[in-house]
A and B are shown apart, each in its own frame.
Chain A
Amino acid sequence: MSIPKLEFPPFHLPAEAEALRGEVRAFLKETLPGIQTEDRFASWNTPSPEFSQALGAKGWLGITWPKKYGGAERTFLDRYVVTEELLGNSAPAGSHWVADRQSGPLLLKFGSEQQRQAILPRITRGECYFSIGMSEPDSGSDLASVRTRAEPVSGGFRVNGTKVWTSGAHRNHYCITLVRTSGQHGDRHKGLSQLLVDLKTPGVTIRPIINLAGRHDWNEVTFSDAFIPEDCLIGNEGDGWLQVTSELAFERSGPERFMQNVYVLRELIRVLGRQPAKRASAIVGRLIARLWTLRQMSTAVAGLMQGGQSPAIEASLVKDLGTIYEQDLPEIARTLAESDATTEDDLADFLDIAQYATMMAPSYTIQGGTTQVLRGIVARGLGLR
């Protein structure tokens, strides 16, 4: 039996984290009703600078970071609780999400002192937002094949190339951009670097890419001889691949991988009424059991990470199961509501919600590592490749 044991040691979030949960809930109850958003049901990709600033004022952004950069020096588990409360209460967390989750931690780990001082305090105030500049027209899952080139010139780099699926680039301030700084296209992991790109830089053009639901989240970001100063290089020249993989780990293990459409379940419970039929109750119960299990797995991973481990396989399993659950949810809910909603009006309203969730669902198993990429990681962990 040579395969590693899959263990998700049950983990209790500590008392301080649970105390924080109460504070976050009270804050959301008071704040959310006054916040206008473009989405009927907000989530981690619904932007609201107003909300992010209010959250920053509470000290809950960059919560784990050193105080000298505006952080609160609290634990990763405190951050976990804030994150899941934002999701569980459908808060519009889209403005700060990427900056708080991965860009800030990346700068903290690899950035220069000057970069940290210039950027991190602004993130913690909810004033500075980030996009992810990884994918390109010819580089999706195969990220090492990026072609965007940063040619060293006096005082910096001249950048040419195109990034795509760049969420929020039209409203965010910076984009951490993966570029080739040396070597050839075929060199794969070697010669890649990450640049801190101010999205207002001359030569950077942002064009919308509208998704199938008619939303403008994505952009195409084109670099035409854009000059990026040398102090915007993050970490060492040539370490881009190492840095980008560490960044991806932050993207895969969080509760946003099974809770982005939790509103569907909540609304399903509403339209089925207080006394659904046996069969309907059982289906709802099975959905709740799946969500509960995912949360147990995710907190277990958080516990392992807090304990200093890096459970890459476990995190991939959570994202795989979680996103498939999110994809099943609107479909199961729709068919159940069609047969068991208590009133015609409720049904019409719910079908509208489910239709939107259905349209968004394909993205869940693509963003942040496709199901197939994740299964490749798990297969390697099982010793199959």
Chain B
Amino acid sequence: MDRETRDMLLETAGRFFSERSGKEVVNGVEKGVWPADLWKEIEEMGLPLIAVPEAQEGVGGTLADLLALLRVAGEHAVPVPLAETTLANLLVAASGGKPASGPTTLALGGGDLSLQGNRLSGKVMRVPFASVADRFVSVVNAGGKPTLVVVARDETSVEETPSHAGEPYGTVVFDNTPVEFSAASAVSADRALELAALMRTMQMAGAADKVLVTAVEYCKQRAQFGRPISNFQAIQHMLAELASCVAATIASAESASRDADEGGLEDGGSFSIAAAKTQCSDFAHRIAAISHQSMGAMGFTHEHILHHYTRRLWVWRRDFGSEAFWGEKIGQAFAKAGRDAMWPALTESRYAA
């Protein structure tokens, strides 16, 4: 979509999230209340079908549009699988399937998933929103070829293990489970994981931005020793450091999004995504540490919203590959290629070879 249309969509989505996905809704999800109304409205707005071509009953737009929306969703800690569903729908459509309505999630990173005929077996841990999604989408290697599979949740067993942000994550066991849909996948299993990591970087960029705004606003209002604590140089320098970590998070996520979008769904921005997920995950610690320090006990309460964001940063840095996972992949490639390949690779945002 053109710049103007996208900006309008993002503004509308941002306003919608702040009105309909506030503190109570986020806290409710942590207590096990599925916000059915919120999800219904999200579907009515067509958000889960962004980047699905109109010819396939989607609302159109690009991967970049989808990712920009996810940054806004991250900024509001939207506690439903919007990211997972949009990417699942995009993958299903790209593989020739028809996205279904209802919350959907991604069962990725399970190296031992196997497809025999029309039946899937194996286990995937830490599947986001596993217990509330209608179905799981995965990409498995069958006969050496990447195959996209869609499995109804009712056919599986889900052991709920909520994430540390209180979202209904879980372990999904496929035990000779019939698949609802399968097709030659438009992307490899590794690429599906990359795309999922990319969507997390944009959510992290949104959350990081919100943390900065929250901490800055708080310090301007909170008075101690007879003046706002933002008057103290010690606080000013902490918040400036926080801003640098947030800036790096945003910049890396946005760069990876652009590279993925420009390079295409199949393999665009492969290295940039790995680098961005590494960077965003690496800085999550400082962002949480500094923001909490600046807000003292107040920010450590369940009452305050800061934890909606800092806890998600801690969860999201592990989702779809942590800094250790993606860092190892980068480090291995650069070591194998040797020192002289490093600089040229960096200037082209690609793995050294």
Contacts and interface: CB of A to CB of B under 8 A. Distances in A.
B340 to A, nearest CB: 8
Interface in A271-327: 272-276, 278, 280-286, 288-297, 300, 314, 317, 320-321
B147 interface: no
A226 interface: no
Nearest to B241: A375
B245 to A, nearest CB: 8
A1 interface: yes
B164 interface: no
Given A317-B244, A382-B240, A383-B220, A296 B336 contact: no
A183 interface: no
A5 B219 CA distance: 18
Contacts of B212: 3, 6
Interface in B197-214: 209, 212-213
A124 B241 CA distance: 38
Contacts, number: 187
With most chain B CB atoms within 10 A of its CB, the pick from A25, A281, A296 is A296
Contacts of B21: none
A56 to B, nearest CB: 23
B352 to A, nearest CB: 9
Contact of A384 (B219, B245, B328): B219
Interface in B323-352: 323-332, 334-336, 338-340, 342-344, 346-347, 349
A317 B247 contact: yes
Nearest to B327: A285
Given A1-B217, A266-B342, A272-B335, A288 B330 contact: yes
A378 B349 contact: no
A123 B64 CA distance: 44
Interface stretch (A7-15, A34-42, A97-105): A7-15
B275 A293 contact: yes
Contacts of B274: 285, 289
25 contacts: A8-B247, A88-B343, A269-B335, A269-B338, A281-B330, A282-B327, A282-B331, A284-B330, A284-B334, A285-B334, A289-B278, A292-B252, A292-B272, A293-B275, A300-B251, A317-B244, A320-B241, A320-B244, A376-B233, A378-B243, A379-B236, A382-B216, A382-B243, A384-B231, A385-B236
A295 B276 CA distance: 12
Contact of A273 (B236, B335, B346): B335
Given A8-B254, A384-B236, A276 B244 contact: no
Contacts of A75: none
A378 B212 CA distance: 13
A182 to B, nearest CB: 32
Contact of A281 (B213, B245, B323, B335): B335
Contact of B336 (A274, A291, A295): A274
A274 B278 CA distance: 21
B156 interface: no
Contact of A321 (B219, B220, B244, B347): B244
A311 to B, nearest CB: 11
Nearest to B336: A274
Contacts of B328: 278, 281-282, 285
B248 interface: yes
Contact of B239 (A289, A297, A379): A379
Nearest to B229: A384
Contacts of A293: 248, 251-252, 255, 275-276, 279
B346 A295 contact: yes
B250 interface: yes
A276 B331 contact: yes
B325 to A, nearest CB: 8
A262 interface: yes
Contact of B251 (A8, A21, A281): A8
A272 B331 CA distance: 10
Contacts of B255: 8, 10, 293, 296, 300
Nearest to A6: B247
A385 B278 CA distance: 33
A293 B257 CA distance: 13
A237 interface: no
B327 A267 contact: no
Contact of B323 (A2, A84, A282): A282
A interface residue count range (under 10 / 10 to 19 / 20 to 34 / 35 or more)? 35 or more
A3 B216 contact: yes
A211 interface: no
B247 A297 contact: yes
Given A276-B331, A375-B240, A289 B246 contact: no
Contacts of B244: 317, 320-321, 378
A3 B274 CA distance: 30
A372 interface: yes
A305 to B, nearest CB: 15
B237 interface: yes
A58 interface: no
A374 B247 CA distance: 15
B252 A284 contact: no
B247 A289 contact: no
Interface in A103-142: none
Interface in B269-306: 271-272, 274-276, 278-279, 282
A284 B233 CA distance: 35
A270 interface: yes
A288 B335 contact: no
Nearest to A87: B343
Contacts of B335: 269, 272-276, 281, 284
Contacts of A275: 332, 335-336
Contact of A288 (B209, B216, B346): B346
B105 interface: no
B331 A281 contact: yes
Given A6-B209, A10-B255, A296-B251, A376 B236 contact: yes
